[in-house]
Amino acid sequence: MKVIDLLNKIANGEEVPEKIKVYNNIYVYDSLNKAYWNSNNKQLFEVHNGRILNYEVEIIDDEPEEKATVSEEQTLFNNLDNIDKDRIIKLMKLLQPPKANVLIHIEILEGE
């Protein structure tokens, strides 16, 4: 979408994105004043004047991405064959930090 399209939406009373990025500047929509403001308290047209009408508008979505639920993760695990499951379990055990009272001894044997 271009800035001119965004302005048409505002003029027609259509829904507009709350947060946008235009020419590397982020703006937040003020529905009371029907204007986009940046962090320096400047309106979109104060910063760029009329030359921005054909600039592209990037819509910024601040919604956090949903994390896979336990059931989805469990489903993924259940779809693995038994060899993969065993490898994952062994890897998880290896990645766990050792208990404080356990001494870990690694011996490297020559010739093997």
Each residue of 14-34: pLDDT tens digit? Answer: 999 999 999 889 999 999 989
Mean predicted confidence (pLDDT) in 76-101: 68
Look at residue 99 and tell me whether its pLDDT is greater than 60. no
Rounded-to-integer distance, Cα 24 and Cα 93, Å:
46
Rounded-to-integer distance, Cα 80 and Cα 104, Å:
31
Residue 38 lies in a domain: yes
Containing domain of residue 24, as a range? 3-59
Residue 12 lies in a domain: yes
Residue 102 lies in a domain: no
Residue 11 lies in a domain: yes
pLDDT at 69: 57
Phi and psi at 47, nearest 5°, equal: -80, -40
pLDDT at 110: 63
Q: Following DSSP, what letter does each residue of 67-88 receive, concatenated?
A: PPPHHHHHHHHHTS-HHHHHHH
Rounded-to-integer distance, Cα 4 and Cα 38, Å:
18
Task: State if pTM tops 0.75.
Answer: no
Residue 40 lies in a domain: yes
Number of domains in the chain: 1
Residue 23 lies in a domain: yes
Q: How many CA atoms lie within 13 A of 11 on its CB side?
A: 6
Mean predicted confidence (pLDDT) in 65-87: 66
Residue 99 lies in a domain: no
Residue 49 lies in a domain: yes
Rounded-to-integer distance, Cα 98 and Cα 53, Å:
61
Look at residue 63 and tell me whether its pLDDT is greater than 70. no
